Amino acid sequence: YTGKTGSQLLTEKIKKIKVAEFTSMPVVVQESSTVYEAICTMFLEDVGALYIINKNGHLVGVVSRKDLLRASMGKQEINTIPINIIMTRMPNITYCYKDDFLLDIAHILIDKQIDGLPVVKKSQNENGLEVVGRITKTNITKALVELAHDEIL
C-alpha cells in the first residue's frame, strides 16, 4: 500500500497522459489553395482549424474559423486570394509532439487562447515539420470523460 490518496493517484494518472493517446487526424491544405477552397474543406471535414503545408509537405501555416470569416468579410475576392495570405504563419505557430504530456497542452491552449495545436514530427530529409495529428479542446474533454469513466468501473 502506497499511502496515496485517491486524489493523488488521479493526479498522477492525469499527468502521465500523452498527446498520442488522444490525437485526431489533421486536415491539411496546400498553401496555393484559395480562401474559398479552404472554407469548403473546413465544412466538408468538419474541423475548426486547417493546417497549411508547402510543396514539400511541411507545415507553414494555420487558419481558424475566424480567420476565414474575417477574410470573407472584406472586399477581397475569396476565389482568388491564396490561403497563405491570411494564415497565421511560421514561426508563430504553436505545435506539439506525440510524446508531449496532454496536461501541458491544456495549459498552452488556455495561455494562448487557441482551440488546438498541430501534432508534428521532424521531417526525415530536410528541415521542416510534418503534420501527423491535431489536438484540440475536444480531445482534452474526451480525456476528462475517460478518466471519470475509469473511476466508476
Residues that bind ligand ADP (CB under 6 A): 49, 62-67, 88, 92-94, 114-115, 117
Shortest reach from residue 95's CB to ligand ADP, in Å: 6
Q: What count of Cα atoms within 13 Å lies in the side-chain half-sphere of residue 111? A: 8
Q: Which residues of 103-133 are buried (b: 16+ CB within 10 A; e: fewer)?
A: eebbebbeeeebbbbbbbeeeeeeebbbbeb
Q: How many CB atoms lie within 10 A of CB 49?
A: 22
- In the complex with ligand ADP, the residue whose CB is nearer, 17 or 63, is 63
Query: What DSSP element (H or E) covers 121?
Result: strand 116-122
For 24, the grid coordinates are 485526431
Considering the complex, state which of residue 67 and residue 143 has its C-beta at the smaller distance from ligand ADP: 67
Residue 12 backbone phi and psi in degrees, to 5: -60, -40
Taking the complex as a whole, the smallest distance from the CB of residue 32 to ligand ADP amounts, in Å, to 18
- Closest CB 130 distance from ligand ADP, rounded Å: 15
- Minimum Å gap between C-beta 73 and ligand ADP is 13
Helix (H) or strand (E) holding 41: helix 35-45
- What's the closest the beta carbon of residue 89 comes to ligand ADP, in angstroms? 9
Q: Closest CB to ligand ADP among 13 and 66?
A: 66
54, burial (CB in 10 Å: exposed 0-12, middle 13-18, buried 19+): middle
> CB-wise, 93 or 143, nearer to ligand ADP?
93
Nearer to ligand ADP, 10 or 140 (CB): 140
